[in-house]
Each structure stands twice: as structure tokens, then as C-alpha cells.
Structure 1
Amino acid sequence: MTYVVTENCIRCKFMDCVEVCPVDCFYAGENFLVINPDECIDCGVCEPECPAEAIFPDSDDRATAWAELNASYSTKWPNITRKGTPPADAEEWKDKPGKADLLSPEPHKA
């Protein structure tokens, strides 16, 4: 089993989850984070740290549609091991539904 980042992370990207991950399995896109399922050890420490409540175990129905996207982008985007600065408007986007079309395929730029 693994954990999956879902739609609510889009345009929020708070990154609190990144710093608690003991195996550094997070990867960063321009406006979204993903978890590499081959690296995740299913410890679950990231889930309660997410202010946007966007992380779920892959066994949760809310994660199903996002599992493949996490797997795919985790091989294309850079690994992130430290919390960065979230977007200035992250709080405004938190909990907004229907953000899937806003997902940028571009990698995070330092």
C-alpha cells in the first residue's frame, strides 16, 4: 500500500507533508505534489500534516483516480525533501472543488 496526493493539493501545495516523510518520496510539480508509490513505505505520517487534506491511502476510494498520476509524475518531476513556500494564494484555493483541470504538468522550479 502507498499514499496518494489528490486534487485538493492543486494550487495549494503547502508542503508540510514533505518534511515529515522519512523516505523522501515526494516529487514537486509547478502547482502540485505527488508521492512515488515505489518509495512510499506506508507509514502515514504525511496524511495528518497536509493542511489541504489532500493525502489518502491508495485503498481509499478518493485516491483511486489519482494513483496513476502520482506514479507517472513522480518519475518526471524533481524530488523535494524540504518544505518550501506555498503559493501566495494557497489559502484561497484550499478546499475548492473541481481543480483537476488546473493541474500543471510542468516541474517545480526552484
Structure 2
Amino acid sequence: MTFVVTEACIKCKYTDCVSVCPVDCFHEGPNFLVINPEGCIDCGVCIPECPVSAIFEEDRVPEDQKQFIEINARLAQSWPTINEAKEPMDDAEAWADVKGKSQYLIDACTDKA
């Protein structure tokens, strides 16, 4: 099993989770983070670090967020690894509680939202 970053991370990109990951399995895109399922060791230390509760065990991803299992796996293949915390996006606080943000995900491969 792996862990999955879901919609709540979009336009926030808090990186508290990155700094605790013992295997550097997080990857960074323009406005979202993903977890590489191939590298994740299922330790779970990232879950309590996420201030917007965007990370779930794969078998506990909410039904309306299941597409993020595939999104994490796909984007982890092309986005660079991030292993140190950075400042969140400038307007992260304004987006932290917003629901329905999937349309704002920027895929760095195509630069399309």
C-alpha cells in the first residue's frame, strides 16, 4: 500500500510532509505535490504533518478523490523530487479550505490546468 496526496493540496502545496519523508518519495509540480507509489514505504509519517489533511492511505482515499491514486503515480514519473520544506504558495491560506479544486491542478508536463 502507498499514500496518496489528494485535491486539498492543490494551490496550497504545504511541504511539511516532505521534510519528514525518510525515502524522498514526494514530487513537486507547479501547484501540487504527489507521492511516488514506487518509493513510498508506507510509514505514514507524512499524514499528521499535512496542515490541510490532503494525504490518505491508498485504501482510505475518499471515493470522490480516487482519481488521485492514478494522478500521483503518473505525475511522480515526470515531476522532480522534493526533499526539503519550502514556503507554501502565496495564497495557500485562502485555498486551504476550498473544495472542488481539481480543475486547478497544473500538470507540469503540458502546463494545462
TM-score clears 0.5: yes
User: Is residue 7–residue 101 contact of structure 2 (8 Å, CA) maintained in 1?
Assistant: yes
Take 2:97 and 2:71, find their aligned partners in 1: how far apart are those partners?
Answer: 20
For structure 1, the residue ranges without an aligned partner over 5 or more in a row are: none
Identity %: 53
What is the Cα-based RMSD across aligned positions, in Å? 1.0
Select which of 83, 86, 111 maps to 1:84. Answer: 86
Take 1:105 and 1:64, find their aligned partners in 2: how far apart are those partners?
Answer: 17
- CA drift at 1:41: 0.4
Select which of 70, 95, 98 maps to 1:96. Answer: 98
- CA drift at 1:60: 0.8
TM-score, normalised to structure 1, is: 0.94
Q: Deviations over 1:16-46 (max 9, x none)?
A: 0000000000000000000000100000000
Q: Which runs of 4+ in 1 moved over 4 A?
A: none
Paired residue for 1:55? Answer: 55
For structure 2, the residue ranges without an aligned partner over 5 or more in a row are: none
Matched AA of 1:17? C
Q: How does 1:4-83 map to 2 (within 5 A)?
A: 4-62=4-62, 63-83=65-85
Residues paired across the two proteins, number: 107
The structure with more helix, counted as a fraction of residues: 2
- CA drift at 1:64: 2.3
TM-score, normalised to structure 2, is: 0.91
